[in-house]
Structure 1
Amino acid sequence: MEEQIIRTEYSDVMQKSYIDYAMSVIISRALPDVRDGLKPVQRRTLYDMYELGIRYDRPYRKCARIVGDTMGKYHPHGDSSIYEALVVMSQEFKKGMPLVDGHGNFGSIEGDGAAAMRYTEARLQKVTQEAFLADLDKDVVDFVPNFDENEKEPSVLPARIPNLLVNGSDGIAVGMATSIPPHNLGEVIDAAKAYLKNPDITTEKLLELMPGPDFPTGGIIVNKDELPAIYETGTGKIKIRGRVQVEKLKGGKEQLVITEIPYPMIGANIAKFLNDIAALVEAKKAPEITDISNQSSKEGIRIVLELKKGADTENLKNMLYKKTRLEDTFGVNMLAVADGRPETLSLKQILEYYIDFQYELTTRKYRTLLSKEQEKREIQEGLIKACDVIDLIIEILRGSRSIKEAKACLTEGSTDGIRFKSEASKKRAAKLRFTERQAQAILEMRLYRLIGLEIEALMEENRKTLKNIAEYEDILENHASMTRVILKDMEAIKKTYSRPRRTAVENAEAAVYEEKKIEEMPVMFLMDRFGYAKTVDMSVYDRNKEAADSENRHIFSCMNTGRICIFTDTGKQHTVKVQDLPYGKFRDKGVPIDNFGNFSSAEEQLVGIGSMEEIRHQKLLFGTRSGMLKVVDGSEFETKMRTMAATKLNEGDELIFVSPVDGSEQLVLQSKEGYFLRFGVEEIPEKKKGAAGVRGMRLGEKDQLEAMYLYHPGQETAVEYKEKQLILNKLKAGSRDTRGVRVRG
């Protein structure tokens, strides 16, 4: 066949391809189906376990076996995604009702990952088998070909519970994401029953039966009044707090014990929470806390904060809510696949889809059951009728030369080729009109069925079959009868699998935390040549002055309530609160200064540093690599911003010098090629911080400033240059914007 080149607009091809890809991710990967609340990978994993016979009442099987079989038959997207889905479905701290019974290390609430799939084992939970998979053999859902069309898989599982609400879901698709919180099974079923009885019921009435999310980690939802709007629209934010108890100790001391955490905190955020508390203690914002210990175990969360005697526990509680993730937000976006497309659903819409699905399942189930009962009735009636003419049937079978002849006689009354004992028997045989199924059952019937008791049992079985047929026809023909069946199923599931609510729902006032005022006092700032900074008491510095001066690169006094100004080579000014710096013993190592500022020492180099209280009363001299100089009033650098531009730099230039001056100093500029220029600071004009400055030294084409020095007249100052001492005072005086003198080593 000759190839044809199809010419088309490239943007059209890209648009179509991207939309196809996006829809594939949305429908086939990331979003759950509103009917069974499962994503495709979850549905396929559960179905594969069912097919492998890994039931709740049978031994566990290796997860590697389950993952491999699922990937090979139904979900060819990598083993890690399948195993992760399997693990999550088994984690009690993530799911309101786990669907998989895991055996082995399946991770922890603190973020520890599950063991490799070759070590762990799993099987279905009883609820999964009974409420998700039990009716698959009754043609209740459609089966579709798998990816290579060698297997069949269910398009949706026949879930008897509103799983989308019970277990919730989260997933990120292309351009959209879903985030549905878990709920209490018993409450959700009560809400579904109420909606089934009255589809016009309001969201507020439904929330009386189902007050809100029920997180596996417990906690307290504190914005109850906002929930109706969230469930009406399907989007919003739920505020949830951890539960904190006060325990009394000997000696009048108390301790705060966190026994439940907000659902979003599970995982690595628990460690972050502990670090945040430690940071508050170090920053002197929570000095009442003397010790932090995480005593959590399989039995539950238990984080203990030991307090000083007389500590204000209520204020500390509020501080934890305000300053840490002990109060967190769960963003709700109830997005799911409904009728084959993604849709943000309200609570009533989710219940409507669930109820409609239950009617569909029940209709298909009872149609299948009715069909089977009708087949049974047909066979039973044939056998009963056969018992009445059993002698004739035996005569037909003995006189027939083949099964085909005997069957034709039973179904059509054909007597050709059959030997009868009498003409009367032949006439009676010609009147027989059994159906195909009845004739086959008669031919396969065993002689023991002719015993009187067996015949009576057959009659009783027929009566039950007729009763079942009447019941099934009533369910299928009478809407009220089907509704009663659905309600009965719901009630049975609720009775078997419901559990008490774990999350409280209430309206709570916003946490008000009064930060205790720090007693203002002067401290000494110390920073070594590696950038490790700390503050110490003035008396501590005085006792260790000689060692402090020799070991540290930057030393100055400041107020503990003040700020530190840091100037970097990029021309930026960063500010750090003094109270954020570690305060303690002289021999404490300190913490890197860039841990507190809005910069990284790997990208910016510190050029100047000082106390904002002192800088605002001073003049600062700025010098750049290209030789630009200016003096700026220190008041321009008084700010509460963490970062701002301290000076204007030309392209490719960088700041190399910042120092306070009073105007009486002598300035020496040293270039890379060995030129030195000395002149008075008074020659440098005062500019605004946004100005580039004036040229301080004429530099050669490839030359640049390497260093700048300040000294007061009459004070002999020497620097090391090419391994020799160079006395700056002896340099020939010059004037700004000249070349200077060259000094050879």
Structure 2
Amino acid sequence: MSDLVEIDEDGIEQVSLKTYTEKAYLDYSMYVILDRALPHVGDGLKPVQRRIVYAMSELGLKATAKYKKSARTVGDVIGKFHPHGDSAAYEAMVLMAQDFSYRYPLVDGQGNWGSPDDPKSFAAMRYTESRLTPYAEVLLAELGQGTVDWVPNFDGTMDEPSVLPAQVPNVLLNGTTGIAVGMATDVPPHNLREVVSAAIRLLDAPKSTVQELCEHVQAPDFPTDAEIITPREDILAMYESGRGALRMRAVWEKEGGDIVVNALPYQVSGSRVLEQIAQQMQAKKLPMVADLRDESDHENPTRLVIVPRSNRVDVGGVMSHLFATTDLERSYRVNLNMIGIDGRPAVKSLDRILKEWLKFRTDTVRRRLEFRLEKVERRLHILEGYLVAFLNIDEVIHIIRTEDKPKPALMKRFGITDIQAEAILELKLRNLAKLEEMKIRGEQDELAEERDQLMKTLGSAARLKTLIKKELTAVAEKFGDDRRSPLATRDEAKAFSELELMSADPITVVMSDKGWIRAAKGHDIDPASLSYKSGDAYKLSVRGRSNQPTIILDSTGRAYSVPSHNLPSARGQGEPVTGRINPPSGATFEGLLMGDEEQLYLIASDAGYGFVARLGDMQSKNRSGKAVLTLPKGGAVLQPAMIRQREDAWVAAVSNEGRMLVFPLADLPQLSRGKGNKIIGIPSARVLAREEYVIGVQVVAPGESLVVYAGKRHLNLKFAELEHYQGERGRRGNKLPRGFQKVDSIAIAD
């Protein structure tokens, strides 16, 4: 940078704008990353959080102290350590006090600190009072024991800790979120017992893999009783890479006929969920839900009641829909990005986080022991001086009374050090009585024993490891609790489709000769009596329900699906069906079909070939449809015949020459597409010349009658009377009675 700075003749530095802006932005970026947005792996705190906890400890706000106004704490934080806005500092403080936001809160609040429904509804800092929680002592207990480095505050008038000497991996326990420059962090909270157990495992077996550590850390543990439904393999991958996602789902039960939601995902508002469900009810997207109630109170912090419209409603299906469309199920991003012990930000795997923290903890404990050893040795050194003074008390008093400079005289006379002489001179007269030899020697023995123990621990990696394990276990026993967020395996949530939400009203779909389609309510209308455009007339109709698709069969044998619920009303003349599908040029429409997916139809060509088809196999989302019936040369598509009953049913086929053949339906195969098998024997030459062809096919079941129409005449044949026309499939059939040699159509009697 210095090479790019120019100094003009007046001694003013000149820097190019490009260089200055680059440096300024980089400096700002590093500040945001290291000093604002990311937590430190050692204590798991961002600078503002660390400063709040430290300022509260300096104010004497321990867990046993009286509460003090939060404004007092915030004033100290922004005045001494954190030169930013008071609202930012107070919001950070509020977050650490909310037991629904923090797994192990650091601040014990009195007053309105927000609610799960509205975390931002906390009172102003002049109204609330606060102190530290007992858990905060885990971060602060070793602060004055030489364990951490101290750095000047923003104006250099006092020092603050660069990191707190946390006794547990707080970075995982409470988690954090933050957005820096070019990076972000999303560390979920975890269970104290599980994390400590994993840390001890890593101490015992430093080469433990993430998979082995996950035997202890099953998953994150949020301050809510909602279920974590992320698959186990996804959780393992998340801990191995440091990145991933988690899904949480509300816990519910059936109480009487009602659905009661007892636990919501992390940071989900109950009022927001009720609002989302109510919006769907108003939009008529939840016709199966009759009412909503919020019965939450102090005894039941979360109790949302959803009342189904009837006992026949599938509550499992309703909840699956709500999980897919509301905050009752929520996804959380995981990004284990933090500042490591090397002072650099990085996304870390679970084993790396715990290894770095254990190194931080080992260094902290070593520094604590060394600090204590130094104090013990200093005290022992002073006690040796005291012992000399006690044994020569009269001479010491004489020297102090007679010498102008007693310190050098004492040092010379008794061979003691400057520190020992200073300590003797600092003694008050009233303490002389305490200088009893037995007391001094007793304290020396105790301190000598402590010194030996400290030196043994510091000199042995195994002893140091054992001490860390004992301290970790003690914290886990004192502050540990059971997992709150259970792990569960659940099916993927699925929203209701538009058709599933539609009411199943009876309708009759009508198509005109020119291909105009419409739907009339009910099954009791006469389609031929409807009004048609000039030059147009009735051609086809089918009965079904509004939540069933209409299947259209064209003259080329292709099938198309059209949603029935939004077809134009029969009060008008409909609309061209070609606006919804793309049939081949010149194709006409020869068949309409409706029913559920398992409904069977007899599909046939007038050349005398056909097969049984399932309605579901004919459905297609493609506007160009799908090929279903392969036509022989000269053949045309017949209107499909619905199969109401398959067992003991007969197929009746009638040609235009008045021949009818009846044979068992079981003789025809069920196919998804194709030409089919021969139904009635008609020479192909006669079909090509259009001299003889099949007029219609029907499926007749026992108890039904077949009606044959010829001009103005009709013949009603009961099921038993069809036996005269029975023959093997593919035969020519028998002639109908006189007067029915030119058949127009056949139908099943209503």
The answer for the alignment partner of 1:159 in structure 2 is 166
In the alignment, the residues of structure 1 paired with residue 228 and residue 469 of structure 2 have an alpha-carbon distance, to the nearest angstrom, of 30
Unaligned runs of 5+ in 1: 249-253, 414-431, 524-536, 539-558, 564-576, 581-609, 620-639, 642-745
The answer for the alignment partner of 1:710 in structure 2 is none
Structure 1 residues 380 and 613: alpha-carbon distance in aligned structure 2, compared to 1, 3 A threshold = farther
> Which of residues 503, 525, 535 in structure 2 aligns to 1:519?
503
In the alignment, the residues of structure 2 paired with residue 219 and residue 112 of structure 1 have an alpha-carbon distance, to the nearest angstrom, of 18
- Tell me whether 1:19 sits opposite 2:26 in the alignment: yes
Structure 1 residues 7 and 89: alpha-carbon distance in aligned structure 2, compared to 1, 3 A threshold = closer
The answer for the alignment partner of 1:229 in structure 2 is 237
The answer for the alignment partner of 1:190 in structure 2 is 197
In the alignment, the residues of structure 2 paired with residue 147 and residue 615 of structure 1 have an alpha-carbon distance, to the nearest angstrom, of 76
In the alignment, the residues of structure 2 paired with residue 291 and residue 62 of structure 1 have an alpha-carbon distance, to the nearest angstrom, of 44
Unaligned runs of 5+ in 2: 1-8, 508-520, 523-544, 550-562, 580-620, 623-750
In the alignment, the residues of structure 1 paired with residue 571 and residue 59 of structure 2 have an alpha-carbon distance, to the nearest angstrom, of 71
The answer for the alignment partner of 1:277 in structure 2 is 277
The answer for the alignment partner of 1:471 in structure 2 is 453
CA displacement at 1:15 relative to structure 2: 2.8
Does the CA contact (< 8 Å) of 1:225 and 1:507 recur in 2? no
CA displacement at 1:192 relative to structure 2: 0.9
The answer for the alignment partner of 2:673 in structure 1 is none
Does the CA contact (< 8 Å) of 2:228 and 2:486 recur in 1? yes
Does the CA contact (< 8 Å) of 2:179 and 2:185 recur in 1? yes
Per-residue CA shift, 1:231-280, capped at 9, x if unaligned? 000001111111111212xxxxx2111111111x424xx33321222233
The answer for the alignment partner of 2:366 in structure 1 is 363
In the alignment, the residues of structure 2 paired with residue 22 and residue 612 of structure 1 have an alpha-carbon distance, to the nearest angstrom, of 67
In the alignment, the residues of structure 2 paired with residue 579 and residue 173 of structure 1 have an alpha-carbon distance, to the nearest angstrom, of 51
In the alignment, the residues of structure 2 paired with residue 295 and residue 189 of structure 1 have an alpha-carbon distance, to the nearest angstrom, of 38
Q: Which amino acid aligns with 2:324?
A: K
Does the CA contact (< 8 Å) of 1:96 and 1:167 recur in 2? yes
Secondary structure of the equivalent of 1:238?
strand
Q: Which amino acid aligns with 1:457?
A: K
In the alignment, the residues of structure 1 paired with residue 573 and residue 187 of structure 2 have an alpha-carbon distance, to the nearest angstrom, of 51
Secondary structure of the equivalent of 2:260?
strand
Q: Which amino acid aligns with 2:287?
A: P
5 Å matches for 1:134-213? Answer: 134-213=141-220
CA displacement at 1:314 relative to structure 2: 2.1
The answer for the alignment partner of 1:412 in structure 2 is 412
Structure 1 residues 618 and 372: alpha-carbon distance in aligned structure 2, compared to 1, 3 A threshold = closer
5 Å matches for 1:577-592? Answer: none
Per-residue CA shift, 1:126-165, capped at 9, x if unaligned? 211x211122211211111111111211111111111110
- Tell me whether 1:291 sits opposite 2:299 in the alignment: no
The answer for the alignment partner of 2:246 in structure 1 is 238
Does the CA contact (< 8 Å) of 1:562 and 1:612 recur in 2? no
Secondary structure of the equivalent of 1:487?
helix
In the alignment, the residues of structure 2 paired with residue 579 and residue 23 of structure 1 have an alpha-carbon distance, to the nearest angstrom, of 59
Q: Which amino acid aligns with 1:335?
A: N
Q: Which amino acid aligns with 1:23?
A: M
CA displacement at 1:98 relative to structure 2: 0.3
In the alignment, the residues of structure 2 paired with residue 282 and residue 314 of structure 1 have an alpha-carbon distance, to the nearest angstrom, of 21
The answer for the alignment partner of 1:302 in structure 2 is 303
Structure 1 residues 616 and 459: alpha-carbon distance in aligned structure 2, compared to 1, 3 A threshold = farther
Does the CA contact (< 8 Å) of 1:143 and 1:155 recur in 2? yes
In the alignment, the residues of structure 1 paired with residue 187 and residue 197 of structure 2 have an alpha-carbon distance, to the nearest angstrom, of 19
- Tell me whether 1:83 sits opposite 2:74 in the alignment: no
In the alignment, the residues of structure 2 paired with residue 85 and residue 612 of structure 1 have an alpha-carbon distance, to the nearest angstrom, of 64
The answer for the alignment partner of 2:745 in structure 1 is none
Per-residue CA shift, 1:497-555, capped at 9, x if unaligned? 011110112333323566646335599xxxxxxxxxxxxx99xxxxxxxxxxxxxxxxx
Does the CA contact (< 8 Å) of 1:448 and 1:454 recur in 2? no
Structure 1 residues 412 and 122: alpha-carbon distance in aligned structure 2, compared to 1, 3 A threshold = same
CA displacement at 1:389 relative to structure 2: 2.7
Q: Alignment RMSD, CA only?
A: 3.3
CA displacement at 1:618 relative to structure 2: 10
The answer for the alignment partner of 1:595 in structure 2 is none
The answer for the alignment partner of 1:126 in structure 2 is 134
Q: Which amino acid aligns with 1:260?
A: A
Q: Which amino acid aligns with 1:390?
A: I
- Tell me whether 1:261 sits opposite 2:264 in the alignment: yes
Per-residue CA shift, 1:443-484, capped at 9, x if unaligned? 344566666994322221111110111111122221111111
In the alignment, the residues of structure 2 paired with residue 59 and residue 616 of structure 1 have an alpha-carbon distance, to the nearest angstrom, of 80
In the alignment, the residues of structure 1 paired with residue 24 and residue 476 of structure 2 have an alpha-carbon distance, to the nearest angstrom, of 46
The answer for the alignment partner of 1:494 in structure 2 is 476
Structure 1 residues 395 and 312: alpha-carbon distance in aligned structure 2, compared to 1, 3 A threshold = same
Does the CA contact (< 8 Å) of 1:183 and 1:214 recur in 2? yes
Secondary structure of the equivalent of 1:387?
helix
Q: Which amino acid aligns with 2:502?
A: I
The answer for the alignment partner of 2:511 in structure 1 is none
The answer for the alignment partner of 1:376 in structure 2 is 379
- Tell me whether 1:483 sits opposite 2:483 in the alignment: no
Structure 1 residues 612 and 110: alpha-carbon distance in aligned structure 2, compared to 1, 3 A threshold = farther
In the alignment, the residues of structure 2 paired with residue 225 and residue 386 of structure 1 have an alpha-carbon distance, to the nearest angstrom, of 72
Structure 1 residues 451 and 517: alpha-carbon distance in aligned structure 2, compared to 1, 3 A threshold = closer
In the alignment, the residues of structure 2 paired with residue 14 and residue 439 of structure 1 have an alpha-carbon distance, to the nearest angstrom, of 60
In the alignment, the residues of structure 2 paired with residue 123 and residue 522 of structure 1 have an alpha-carbon distance, to the nearest angstrom, of 68
The answer for the alignment partner of 2:652 in structure 1 is none
The answer for the alignment partner of 1:346 in structure 2 is 349
- After superposing the two structures, state which structure 1 stretch, 84-93 or 114-123, moved more: 114-123
In the alignment, the residues of structure 1 paired with residue 450 and residue 381 of structure 2 have an alpha-carbon distance, to the nearest angstrom, of 14
The answer for the alignment partner of 2:593 in structure 1 is none
The answer for the alignment partner of 1:693 in structure 2 is none
> Which of residues 1, 12, 28 in structure 2 aligns to 1:4?
12
In the alignment, the residues of structure 2 paired with residue 30 and residue 494 of structure 1 have an alpha-carbon distance, to the nearest angstrom, of 28
Number of residue equivalences = 520
Does the CA contact (< 8 Å) of 2:386 and 2:435 recur in 1? no
The answer for the alignment partner of 1:326 in structure 2 is 328
In the alignment, the residues of structure 2 paired with residue 436 and residue 14 of structure 1 have an alpha-carbon distance, to the nearest angstrom, of 57
Does the CA contact (< 8 Å) of 1:144 and 1:154 recur in 2? yes
* TM-score (norm. length: structure 2): 0.64
Secondary structure of the equivalent of 1:89?
helix
% of aligned pairs identical?
Answer: 37
Structure 1 residues 230 and 453: alpha-carbon distance in aligned structure 2, compared to 1, 3 A threshold = same
The answer for the alignment partner of 1:317 in structure 2 is 319
Q: Which amino acid aligns with 2:373?
A: L
In the alignment, the residues of structure 2 paired with residue 115 and residue 367 of structure 1 have an alpha-carbon distance, to the nearest angstrom, of 45
* Runs of 4+ with deviation above 6 angstroms: 559-563, 577-580, 610-613
Per-residue CA shift, 1:540-599, capped at 9, x if unaligned? xxxxxxxxxxxxxxxxxxx97799xxxxxxxxxxxxx9999xxxxxxxxxxxxxxxxxxx
Per-residue CA shift, 1:144-194, capped at 9, x if unaligned? 111111121111111111111000000111221111100011111111111
Secondary structure of the equivalent of 1:22?
helix
Does the CA contact (< 8 Å) of 2:403 and 2:409 recur in 1? no
Q: Which amino acid aligns with 1:247?
A: E
Q: Which amino acid aligns with 1:491?
A: T
In the alignment, the residues of structure 2 paired with residue 132 and residue 298 of structure 1 have an alpha-carbon distance, to the nearest angstrom, of 31
Does the CA contact (< 8 Å) of 2:246 and 2:334 recur in 1? yes
Secondary structure of the equivalent of 2:273?
helix
5 Å matches for 1:656-695? Answer: none
In the alignment, the residues of structure 2 paired with residue 52 and residue 284 of structure 1 have an alpha-carbon distance, to the nearest angstrom, of 58
In the alignment, the residues of structure 2 paired with residue 283 and residue 233 of structure 1 have an alpha-carbon distance, to the nearest angstrom, of 43
Secondary structure of the equivalent of 1:504?
coil
> Which of residues 42, 54, 63 in structure 2 aligns to 1:47?
54
Structure 1 residues 613 and 158: alpha-carbon distance in aligned structure 2, compared to 1, 3 A threshold = farther
In the alignment, the residues of structure 1 paired with residue 361 and residue 416 of structure 2 have an alpha-carbon distance, to the nearest angstrom, of 39
Secondary structure of the equivalent of 2:14?
coil
Q: Which amino acid aligns with 1:381?
A: E
In the alignment, the residues of structure 1 paired with residue 440 and residue 13 of structure 2 have an alpha-carbon distance, to the nearest angstrom, of 72
Structure 1 residues 401 and 345: alpha-carbon distance in aligned structure 2, compared to 1, 3 A threshold = same
Structure 1 residues 11 and 447: alpha-carbon distance in aligned structure 2, compared to 1, 3 A threshold = closer
- Tell me whether 1:507 sits opposite 2:489 in the alignment: yes
Does the CA contact (< 8 Å) of 1:224 and 1:505 recur in 2? no
The answer for the alignment partner of 2:101 in structure 1 is 94
Q: Which amino acid aligns with 1:216?
A: P
CA displacement at 1:199 relative to structure 2: 1.5
